[in-house]
A and B are shown apart, each in its own frame.
Chain A
Amino acid sequence: EAGVAQSPRYKIIEKRQSVAFWCNPISGHATLYWYQQILGQGPKLLIQFQNNGVVDDSQLPKDRFSAERLKGVDSTLKIQPAKLEDSAVYLCASSYRSPGQGSYEQYFGPGTRLTVT
């Protein structure tokens, strides 16, 4: 079974530029998550999708971050414009079970390491 795919693996941009990350979840996984992991910290959830609908985006800085999952499969996370404090690893994860339908574990991709200079 193929895992969660993410691209690019690394990205360096200057502040105020834009950047986009792509994620393809495990086949059949309805739920997709984007996390931000700042160096030395645990992952923090940015947004959660169930199929192509947003379940939770309460921690997404909506003035500069946006995400979509138009066809309910792969997803794109965008930052525009980037700030220095956005430097982090952006992790995508997916899970099979829908929220509220019981326990589930999330499967993570390798992440995209973003450096904003």
Chain B
Amino acid sequence: AQSVAQPEDQVNVAEGNPLTVKCTYSVSGNPYLFWYVQYPNRGLQFLLKYITGDNLVKGSYGFEAEFNKSQTSFHLKKPSALVSDSALYFCAVRDRNAGNMLTFGGGTRLMVKP
């Protein structure tokens, strides 16, 4: 079975500082990995994905994520946080060799303070 863990319910960061939102995963095969963001009363928006190749993936709004196979992690990062980045962030995984289901983590609330 595949699973995703987001160990932090909330991350607080000051505007202008770098941010990291952590994600670890578990799959039996090789993973596809995704990050989505959810703003209040809105659906999830796709940020970025890791499929293969370069371990550092760049996505929308200046976000990037680093795939680390040995640590089974896919942490989301941004060099300089904005107040408008405050939202709920979800990591998701799909085992490319075992079915079609996308499994989401429980989410991490990012709060960026001015």
Contacts and interface: CB of A to CB of B under 8 A. Distances in A.
B114 interface: no
Given A105-B34, A108-B44, A43 B104 contact: yes
Interface residues of A, number: 25
Contacts of B44: 43, 91, 93, 106, 108
A115 to B, nearest CB: 14
8 contacts: A33-B102, A41-B107, A42-B105, A45-B103, A99-B100, A110-B41, A110-B42, A111-B42
Contacts of A109: 43
Contacts, number: 55
Contact of A56 (B32, B34, B90, B101): B101
B32 A108 contact: no
* Complex A-B, nearest 7 residue pairs according to Cβ-Cβ distance, in ascending order: A42-B104, A108-B43, A99-B100, A103-B51, A108-B44, A105-B46, A110-B43
